[in-house]
Amino acid sequence: MTGRRPPLAPTLLTPTLLARLGPAVADYPPGSVFGPRDAGSYEFVWLLHGSAGWVCGDLTVPLTPGALLLVRPGMRDTFHWNTRGPTRHAYAHFRLPAAPRGAAPLDDTGWPVVRDLAGRGDPMAALCQYLLALGATRPPGWERHAEETLRLLLFTFVHGTGTTTGTVSLPEPLVAMAAAVRSHWSDGIARPLPLKRLARAAGVSESTLSRICRRHLGVSPVAGLERLRLARAEPLLWLSNLSLRAIAVRCGFPDAYHFSRRFRAVYGMSPSAFRRVPPESAPPSPVGDGALSALLTLVPPSPPRSADGRRR
């Protein structure tokens, strides 16, 4: 149901809220039917109570609380509400801008139709709740806030939350390798790991792991982990008063000299100079873009520690 999604220009994911059509809540008595209708706009629908069946052509999707449906313009659909009790659902309608002249039109055919809201802590669930709060209270300027919330909700809906390893498109050996690295770094110190140990964790030979890493990440396993270790230094340089030696230790380097030498080789400037540069003017992160960034979801940074080394 998800399919492959083409790259999207950010401007094409900038919704215009149809404020006279929500965000709002509607109640239906048992056995009600809504439709068939021809959808004239995009619409998010999520159930608050009860259940329903959504039918569009040959597609039938059961809806229960915890499911988020995205209806698209041109769909001819019907909602069959629960026959055993009343149903309450929330909805929000919006439009998306047309593609600029000469650009490829927006292709939403590969977008998901429905996604699960994982419950507490799920960003889409929180965004849906905020949309309803805005629609119910309508404070000054609420439409602008609702459109920004819709933009975040739509982007997350299309691309996924990325909160589980199942959403990271990496082969199994790299997932296994990353799990071993996460365990090795669980005390907050991002120590280097030799290729032999990484290959053993991945369940493949050293040469096979190197080949897989270069094909999917563009670098060798050891070089990829070094970039992750260096990227961990960024918030420590900007947001803490830790010495370079302390930061070096946190990032798995024996001392400030070795840390500074490798940092300069990757970032093009010393850690001290980097510390003085505002984030918007800093050199790009070595793992911020490209395939290597996929490892960030598998090897998250550890919680910050206080001066005595305890986690906050």
Tens of pLDDT along 269-309? 999 999 999 888 899 888 876 667 777 766 555 444 444 44
- Distance, in Å, from the CA atom of 241 to the CA atom of 263, rounded to the nearest integer, reads 18
Does residue 47 contact residue 87 with C-beta atoms inside 8 Å?
yes
State residue 12's pLDDT score: 59
State residue 5's pLDDT score: 44
Which residue from 215, 221, 226, 171 is spatially nearest to 196, judged by alpha carbons? 221
Phi, psi of 29 (to 5 degrees): -70, 165
State residue 310's pLDDT score: 40
Task: Please list the ranges in the chain whose pLDDT falls under 70.
Answer: 1-12, 103, 118-121, 161-169, 289-291, 297-312
State residue 218's pLDDT score: 84
The CB density around residue 177, as the number of other CB atoms within 10 Å, is 30
User: pTM, whole model, 2 decimals?
Assistant: 0.57
Concatenating the DSSP letter of every residue in 119-140 gives STT-HHHHHHHHHHHHHHH--T
Instruction: Write down all domains in the chain, each with its CATH number in brackets.
Output: 10-161 (2.60.120.280), 168-298 (1.10.10.60)
State residue 77's pLDDT score: 94
- Distance, in Å, from the CA atom of 122 to the CA atom of 163, rounded to the nearest integer, reads 9
Helix (H) or strand (E) holding 36, with range, is strand 33-38
State residue 289's pLDDT score: 60
State residue 107's pLDDT score: 80
State residue 306's pLDDT score: 45
The DSSP bridge pattern shows strands 33-38 and 76-81 to be: antiparallel
Q: Which alpha helices (H) appear in the chain, and where do they start and end? A: 123-137, 142-159, 172-184, 195-202, 206-216, 221-231, 233-239, 244-250, 256-267, 271-276, 295-298
